[in-house]
């Protein structure tokens, strides 16, 4: 089948979007479309210019025999800010307030369109980091972890709070859950990670950071290192913050269970390295 340029451009775009952060040799495209490398290079130049101008992402070219092109999901600042503003509007409804200063977020975490945008905001911040794995803790962190993983093209590991025979042999640690000051357990299958991997930790909500801190401690048991911490919503609180370096999209500054009010502000995404 002879491919017209317009058909190649559509198919190249589709392939790149389906394989973020994957280095694709030019020969893959020239063989697929039976086209000269020079034509493919021109095609990729058009895709690159449109991707970067429209804020879809970057098209990184790696020269040399082992080279190729790699699509890196990366939003423009304005697009990231608009997604965070959208989140704040969604979260700002007083009926989301739960006892203990938590917010009901399950509907947002279950919304694939919102999660996809959240994933791309975080993937933008970590686009240049070497990340091998994304770790979260069951349950509500799972949709966020997968959303980020989709854009970074890396696997997700889910820490559980209980041991299950279906996880095989496991590593477990105890940690103090910040808000409730309860001793809790984190369990992760030994098969989940390999020594030396760099891990991005994420969760839907961080209050005192006990949960996040527990996951950081778990990394040490696997001889893995922390590549970053991504939090959807962080909550202001009076206790000592157990986690310093993290990125949050939204900050729950103040809640009044009596007045049923929620005060939100942008998280530290833009001030702490999101861009």
Ligand X SMILES: O=P(O)(O)OC[C@H]1C[C@H](OP(=O)(O)OP(=O)(O)O)[C@H](O)[C@@H]1O
Closest residue to ligand X: CB criterion? 178
- Supply the minimum distance, in Å, between the C-beta of residue 213 and ligand X: 8
- Supply the minimum distance, in Å, between the C-beta of residue 141 and ligand X: 6
Q: Phi, psi (5° rounding) for residue 58?
A: -105, 150
Nearest to 160 by CA among 191, 133, 184, 196: 184
Kindly report the number of other CB atoms within 10 A of residue 212's CB atom: 27
Asked if 124 interacts with ligand X (CB under 6 A), we say no
Kindly tell me which residue out of 96, 117, 150, 207 binds ligand X, with binding defined by CB under 6 A: 207
**Residue 178 tokens, joined:** 């910040």
Draw the binding track, 144-183, toward ligand X (x: CB under 6 A; -: no contact). Answer: ---------------------------------xxx----
**Residue 78 tokens, joined:** 């304005």
Q: Which of residues 231-260 bind ligand X (CB under 6 A)?
A: none
Q: Which is nearer to ligand X, 73 or 141 (CB)?
A: 141
Judged by CB under 6 A, the number of residues near ligand X is: 16
Kindly tell me which residue out of 210, 228, 267, 274 binds ligand X, with binding defined by CB under 6 A: 210
Kindly tell me which residue out of 16, 69, 83, 137 binds ligand X, with binding defined by CB under 6 A: 137
Residues 6 or more apart whose Cβ sits within 8 Å of residue 19 = 71, 153
Q: Which is nearer to ligand X, 43 or 204 (CB)?
A: 204
Kindly tell me which residue out of 15, 140, 160, 198 binds ligand X, with binding defined by CB under 6 A: 140
Residue ranges in the chain assigned as alpha helix (H): 5-18, 26-33, 37-53, 77-91, 106-109, 112-125, 142-152, 210-221
- Supply the minimum distance, in Å, between the C-beta of residue 231 and ligand X: 9
Which span (7-15, 80-88, 206-214, 254-262) binds ligand X, by CB under 6 A? Answer: 206-214
Q: Please report how many Cα atoms fall inside a 13 Å half-sphere around the Cα of residue 65, on the Cβ side.
A: 0
| Strand ranges for 138-181 from DSSP E | 156-159, 170-177
Q: Which is nearer to ligand X, 59 or 264 (CB)?
A: 264
Q: Which run of H or of E encompasses 203?
A: strand 198-206
CA distances to 25, 35, 212, 219 from 43, in Å: 14, 11, 44, 43
Residues that bind ligand X (CB under 6 A): 137-140, 177-179, 203-211
């Amino acid at each position: 089948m002879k491919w017209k340029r317009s058909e190649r451009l559509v198919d190249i775009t589709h392939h790149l979007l389906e394989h973020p952060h994957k280095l694709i040799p030019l020969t893959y495209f020239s063989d697929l479309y039976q086209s000269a490398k020079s034509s493919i290079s021109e095609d990729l130049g058009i895709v690159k210019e449109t991707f970067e101008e429209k804020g879809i992402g970057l098209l990184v070219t790696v020269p040399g025999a082992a080279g190729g092109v790699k699509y890196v999901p990366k939003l423009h600042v304005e697009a990231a800010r608009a997604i965070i503003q959208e989140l704040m509007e969604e979260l700002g409804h007083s009926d989301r307030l739960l006892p203990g200063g938590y917010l009901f977020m399950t509907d947002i975490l279950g919304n694939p369109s919102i999660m996809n945008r959240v994933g791309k905001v975080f993937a933008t911040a970590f686009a240049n980091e070497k990340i091998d794995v994304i770790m979260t803790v069951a349950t509500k962190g799972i949709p966020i972890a997968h959303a980020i993983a989709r854009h970074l093209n890396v696997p997700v590991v889910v820490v559980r709070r209980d041991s299950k025979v279906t996880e095989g042999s496991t590593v477990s640690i105890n940690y103090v859950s910040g808000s409730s000051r309860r001793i809790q357990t984190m369990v992760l299958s030994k098969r989940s990670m390999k020594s030396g991997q760099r891990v991005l930790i994420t969760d839907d909500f961080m209050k005192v950071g006990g949960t996040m801190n527990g996951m950081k401690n778990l990394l040490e048991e696997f001889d893995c290192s922390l590549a970053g911490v991504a939090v959807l919503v962080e909550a202001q609180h009076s206790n000592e913050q157990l986690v310093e370096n993290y990125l949050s999209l939204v900050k729950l500054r103040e809640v009044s269970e009596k007045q049923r009010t929620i005060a939100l502000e942008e998280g530290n995404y833009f001030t702490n390295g999101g861009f």
